[in-house]
Amino acid sequence: MKKLKQARESKNLTQSELASRTGISQQHISMIENGERIGSVETLRELAKALDTSVDQLLS
């Protein structure tokens, strides 16, 4: 998910830092960013909240 990586990088966060903020494992975040997994609605909500964006923005 390219938009997730862009949003994370725009906040100058590493995957590990985002993982700490959300409680979602760094490995899971990596898999979502690389398109190996699709995050659940709840996971995407947590990520969007931590990145101060919307799920719609992450999916667009």
pTM of structure? 0.93
**Residue 58, pLDDT score:** 95
User: Do 12 and 56 contact (CB within 8 A), yes or no?
Assistant: no
**Residue 52, pLDDT score:** 97
pLDDT digits (tens, 9 = 90+) for 9-50: 999 999 999 999 999 999 999 999 999 999 999 999 999 999
> Rounded CA gap, 59 and 21, in Å?
20
> What topology is assigned to 2-59 in CATH?
434 Repressor (Amino-terminal Domain) (1.10.260)
User: Do 60 and 53 contact (CB within 8 A), yes or no?
Assistant: no
**Residue 40, pLDDT score:** 96
**Residue 43, pLDDT score:** 98
**Residue 34, pLDDT score:** 96
